[in-house]
Chain A
């Protein structure tokens, strides 16, 4: 089990770049089965602008009061290519599902697993298309300032 994580989200539009960081996820990695689970407390995302943080948490966006956690649940599909006992950088295919608010979507991403000094570090990048999770903006300021997709970068140290 790990509580050493960093999750970055980033969106880019002509109007504004928006980024936020979260260091509060809880994650597990089962080295035998390749199972990976990451639970993310959504109110821990820290934005540069307090206003953006408010929008992010509001019921117009991620509605974090009734849905305070997001979850990724997946499996490393090429487990045979990774030797957790031997130092090195391995490419990993991770198949699983992401739950945001009430919607669960299948995702499949490439990541790297670094084994060094007795530590295992998983890093992955993924794209979250807001409409996939029924996150839609009405017209107005946030809709023009926030892109339709977010880039998510995840780093977990086990």
Chain B
């Protein structure tokens, strides 16, 4: 009898220990969870720059609702368009603006340290496809007095 009691105690203790280990492990993982690897994910949408920009200029609210995530986990796009300009930001990331001549705004694509070399292959006037995560949409800003572009980050060139 005493032996059985001892065994039950042992089992409870083991279960508790297992619970703490698994629970602690999950908590540790959540606390230190990695950032989303955009390039490893499947694209949610494949569109032309013209289509994405005009969707935003028609109804920004609706487009935000559709494309932006609640916790920054926004949609991943492959956007195709003409390279209008290229630059480099203060984080040494290459930026490529895809915009058609007839459009009021374009899609600004920000590359990463890992993909910067691919952006170097791109030339102005070229027609390319770029994959990235959307951070904000296009709109006319009355204070800036200009059209803001759609912003994609963590970008890479999609090879056809």
Contact = CB atoms under 8 A, between A and B. Distances in A.
B21 to A, nearest CB: 21
Contact of A24 (B34, B141, B153): B153
A41 B71 contact: no
B132 to A, nearest CB: 12
B151 to A, nearest CB: 5
Contacts, number: 97
Interface string B118-160: 0000000000000000011100010111101001010000000
A90 interface: no
Chain B's interface size range is: 35 or more
B144 A37 contact: yes
Contact of B90 (A23, A42, A58): A23
A12 interface: no
B54 interface: no
Contacts of A69: 136
Contacts of A58: 70-71
A71 B148 CA distance: 13
A54 B144 contact: no
Nearest to B145: A28
A53 B144 contact: no
B31 interface: yes
Pick from A5, A50, A59 the residue with the most CB of B within 10 Å. A50
A84 interface: no
Nearest 4 pairs between A and B by C-beta?
A57-B72, A41-B136, A54-B71, A43-B135
